[in-house]
Structure 1
Amino acid sequence: MELHQLRCFVAVAEELHFGRAAIRMHMTQPPLSRQVQLLERALGIQLFERNNRSVRLTTAGAGFLRDARHILAFSDQAADGARRLARGEAGSLTLGFTAVSAYQMIPQLLARAQEQLPGLQFTLREMVSSAQLEALAAHRIDVAFVRQINDADGLDGQLISREPLLVVLPHNHPLARETAIAVSALDQQPFVMYAPDEGRYFYDCIAGQFALSGVKPRYVYHLGQTHTVVSMVKAGLGLAIVPASAAQLHSEGLVFKPLLDAQLHAELYMVSRHDNDNPALPAFRRLVEGLN
C-alpha cells in the first residue's frame, strides 16, 4: 500500500467518477484505475462497486476512506514538520541568560520568537555569565547571553545590546534632586555593591571607576543579583549603581540618575558554539539580530 495509491483512492471516493478523479490527480484514467486496483489487491477487499453508469463506495470502502484521509493528513504533517525542522523553524533550543537580561530583553525575544518561529520550543536557564560559558562548553545549553566573552576558539560571539549604568537611590535622598550625580558624591556614602564572585562583571566595572576617581564608598552589602541590590536600596540601606534596565523592576520610591563625570555601560553578547549543528540555531540567531 503506497501513499500515491491512497491519494488516487481518495480522489475517486470523493468524486465518485474515475474521469474527474483522473483530472484532479493530473493523470489519465487508465493509470488511475490501475492504482486503485493495486490498492484493492493489497488490502484484499473491494473498495468500489462499479458499472458503466456509476461508481459507489462499498461499506468497507467508506470505512477505509476515513482512515485513508487520516493517513494522508498525518503524512503531510510529518513532511511539513521535517521541512520546518530542516529550516530551523521548529525544534528546541536551551538558552542561558543573566538575571538582568530577563527584565526586558529575554521577554521581548521570546515574544518575537513566538510570533515568527512558533514551532520553536525553549528551555531557559538563568545563570551568571561564567556559569553559562561553562554550560556552553559542556553542550548543556545552545546559546548563552553573557556580559563578556573571552577569545576561546570554537565560539561565535556577537554584541547585541549596550545599556548605561545608573545610580539608584531613594527618592528622598539629598542627591535625588540632582540631574546627574558626580562619582565624587558617592565618596563615603553607604553603598550596596555587587559581589566579586557572583557579580564579577559589574563589580569590576564599578570598583574600577571608583579606583580611577579616588572614591571610597562605605560598602554595606555585597550581593550577586541586581534585583536584590535594588531591594536593599529601596529599604534605605544605601545607594547603588545598576544597569538602566533595572528600572523595569518594582521601583516605586526610587530614582535612577546618570553619572555626571563617567560613562559606564553594560554589554550583552549572544554566544554559541561553532560545532553546534542544531538546525534551529541559525534561524534563532537571525531573529536575535533583528531585535537591534
Structure 2
Amino acid sequence: MFDLGHARSFVAVAEELHFGRAAARLNLTQSPLSRQIQMLERSLGVDLLERSTRAVRLTPAGRTFLAEAYRVLAAVESAERLTRRSARGESGLVRLGFTAASAYRALPRLVAHLRAHLPEIALVLEEMVSGEQIHALEGNRIDLALLRPSPALAEDGIDAVPLTRERLILAVPRDHPLASGRAPTLRDLDGEPFVTWSPRGGRYFIDLLDGLFEAGGVRPQVVQRVNQVHAMVALVDAGLGVALVPEGVRSIRMAHVVLRSIRLPATAQPELLLASRRDNQNPCLDTVRSAVISAMA
C-alpha cells in the first residue's frame, strides 16, 4: 500500500521527468528517491515510469496514477486546511435560531456579513419564538439565538448580550382615520380594535405594550392574538384592527396596510438579544458570535 510520501515523490518525478531535479526539489538524494518509486511500483504491481540513461517517461499506468495522485493530494491538502481553519473557528457549522420579526432587518444584515467575512462557516437557520429558542439552547439543538429578553435567560449557563433596538410603528388599514393626517399618538389607540401577540409567541411584547398602555392610561380593545408579526400585519390588512409592530416590518408590502410612525416613550423600543450556552463546545461559535455583534454595531 503506498503512502502519501510515495505519492508526493512520484508527482515530483512525473513533473520533472528527471530523478536528479526531482530529488533536489524534495530535498532528497537520488538513491532514496529511486527506492521510493520502486517501492511504489511494487506495491501497485505496475511500472509507472520508463527509465533509460537519457530520459524518464510516464507509462500509460503512470499517467493514470498521476491524475489520481493529484486528486488524492489535493483532497489531503484541503482536509488539512479545513481542519486548521476549523480549529481557529474559521470554518464549520453554526445553528442559529431567530424570531420572525428579526428576519426583516437584523437577520439579513448579519447573514450577509457572515457570508462575506466567514464564507467557510455554514449557517443552519431555524425560525422559533423566543421561548422555543431558550429551550433549544438548553438542549444544545441550536448554538446561537436571536431572541427577545426573557426571565428564563437568567438561568445559569446562558450568556445573552444586547444586539439592537428598534422603534415600534403603527400598522393601520388603509381606510382607517389614523392612516393619514397628523402623527398618531398612544392616546389615539384608546378603544381601538387591536391585534397583538399571543402569550406563547410574544410574552415580551405583551408585557412591553401592557406597561406602555397602563402608563398612558390607554385601553385598546384586543380583538385577536397571534404568534408571528407577519400574521399581525395580515390581519391588519384584512381590516380586523390596528397593531404596534417593530419598525423592521416596513419591508412587508401589503396592499391595504399603512405603516406610520407614532410618538411613544423612548423606552418603547423592543430589544433583540444574542444568546448562547456558556459551555457550548462548537469551535467556531466564538468567531461567529463576535462577527454577529460586529455586524450589528
Do Structure 1 and Structure 2 share a fold, with TM-score over 0.5?
yes
The 1:53–1:230 alpha-carbon spacing in structure 2 relative to 1, beyond 3 Å, is same
Q: 2:255 aligns with which of 252, 273, 288?
A: 252
1:175 match: 178
Q: Distance in 2 between matches of 1:123 and 1:58?
A: 48
> SS state of the match for residue 254, structure 2?
coil
8 Å contact 1:183–1:262 — kept in the other structure? no
Asked whether 1:204 is paired with 2:210, we answer: no
> SS state of the match for residue 74, structure 2?
helix
Quote the offset at 1:31 in angstroms: 3.6
Unaligned runs of 5+ in 2: none
Which amino acid in the other structure matches residue 22 of structure 1?
Answer: A
More displaced 10-residue stretch of structure 1: 172-181 or 196-205: 172-181
Q: Distance in 2 between matches of 1:37 and 1:107?
A: 58
1:126 match: 127
> SS state of the match for residue 273, structure 2?
strand
Q: Distance in 1 between matches of 2:187 and 2:245?
A: 17
Quote the offset at 1:179 in angstroms: 4.4
Which amino acid in the other structure matches residue 286 of structure 1?
Answer: S
8 Å contact 1:164–1:265 — kept in the other structure? yes
Q: Distance in 1 between matches of 2:101 and 2:138?
A: 22
More displaced 10-residue stretch of structure 1: 60-69 or 73-82: 60-69
8 Å contact 1:196–1:204 — kept in the other structure? no
1:226 match: 229
The 1:89–1:171 alpha-carbon spacing in structure 2 relative to 1, beyond 3 Å, is same
The 1:249–1:141 alpha-carbon spacing in structure 2 relative to 1, beyond 3 Å, is same
1:50 match: 51
> SS state of the match for residue 153, structure 1?
coil
Which amino acid in the other structure matches residue 284 of structure 1?
Answer: V
Q: Distance in 1 between matches of 2:170 and 2:157?
A: 37
TM normalised by structure 2 equals: 0.90
8 Å contact 1:179–1:257 — kept in the other structure? no
Deviations 1:55-100 (A, max 9, x none): 1223433332222222212211221222232223332222211111
> SS state of the match for residue 167, structure 2?
strand
2:280 match: 276
> SS state of the match for residue 265, structure 1?
coil
Which amino acid in the other structure matches residue 279 of structure 2?
Answer: D
Q: Distance in 2 between matches of 1:209 and 1:35?
A: 80
Which amino acid in the other structure matches residue 185 of structure 2?
Answer: A
8 Å contact 2:238–2:256 — kept in the other structure? no
Q: Distance in 1 between matches of 2:133 and 2:197?
A: 18
Written as runs of structure 1 = structure 2, the 5 A alignment for 1:144-159 is 144-149=145-150, 150-159=153-162
8 Å contact 2:183–2:263 — kept in the other structure? yes
Which amino acid in the other structure matches residue 273 of structure 1?
Answer: R
Q: Distance in 2 between matches of 1:257 and 1:64?
A: 69
Quote the offset at 1:22 in angstroms: 2.5
1:107 match: 108
Consecutive aligned runs of 4 or more in structure 1 exceeding 6 Å deviation: none
Which amino acid in the other structure matches residue 288 of structure 1?
Answer: V
Written as runs of structure 1 = structure 2, the 5 A alignment for 1:7-26 is 7-26=8-27
> SS state of the match for residue 199, structure 1?
helix
> SS state of the match for residue 257, structure 1?
strand
Q: Distance in 2 between matches of 1:121 and 1:260?
A: 41
Give the total of aligned pairs: 292
More displaced 10-residue stretch of structure 1: 23-32 or 9-18: 23-32
Q: Distance in 2 between matches of 1:286 and 1:217?
A: 41
Quote the offset at 1:261 in angstroms: 4.5
Quote the offset at 1:178 in angstroms: 4.1
Q: Distance in 1 between matches of 2:186 and 2:160?
A: 32
> SS state of the match for residue 222, structure 1?
strand
The 1:261–1:37 alpha-carbon spacing in structure 2 relative to 1, beyond 3 Å, is closer
User: Could you say what the CA RMSD is over the residues aligned between the two structures, in angstroms?
Assistant: 2.0
Asked whether 1:186 is paired with 2:189, we answer: yes
The 1:223–1:114 alpha-carbon spacing in structure 2 relative to 1, beyond 3 Å, is same
Written as runs of structure 1 = structure 2, the 5 A alignment for 1:26-45 is 26-45=27-46
Deviations 1:186-206 (A, max 9, x none): 111121122233221111111
Which amino acid in the other structure matches residue 267 of structure 1?
Answer: E
Which amino acid in the other structure matches residue 279 of structure 1?
Answer: P
Which amino acid in the other structure matches residue 22 of structure 2?
Answer: A
Percentage of identical aligned residues? 45
8 Å contact 1:169–1:233 — kept in the other structure? yes
Quote the offset at 1:127 in angstroms: 1.1
TM normalised by structure 1 equals: 0.91
